[in-house]
Amino acid sequence: MLRFECECGNKTSFFATSDYDEHGREMLDIEDDDCVSYAFGEQSIMLKCKFCGHRYILPAYEEYK
């Protein structure tokens, strides 16, 4: 499980679905999509708090590509 907690106190989790992709990686699903939205860029994943609008970036690193 992956927890998201914004500085405004909004929090939600991504939970493991027991579904795996062809590389053996377990897929996550979001617990409550009214709390946070996310978008994929070429270099990052952006998470946006739906309560206060604060945005976060999870950057991509070369070694994981």
Q: Is 36 one of the binding residues for Zn ion (CB under 5 A)?
A: no
Which secondary structure element, helix H or strand E, spans residue 58, and what is its range?
strand 55-59
49 binds Zn ion (CB under 5 A): yes
Residue 36: Cβ within 10 Å count: 23
8 is an interface residue for Zn ion by CB under 5 A:
yes
Nearer Cβ to Zn ion, position 27 or 55? 55
Beta bridge partners of 59: 44
Q: Which of residues 9-28 bind Zn ion (CB under 5 A)?
A: 10
Which amino acid would we find at residue 45?
A: I
Instruction: Kindly list the residues in this chain that would bind Zn ion in the complex (CB under 5 A).
Output: 6, 8, 10, 49, 51-52, 54
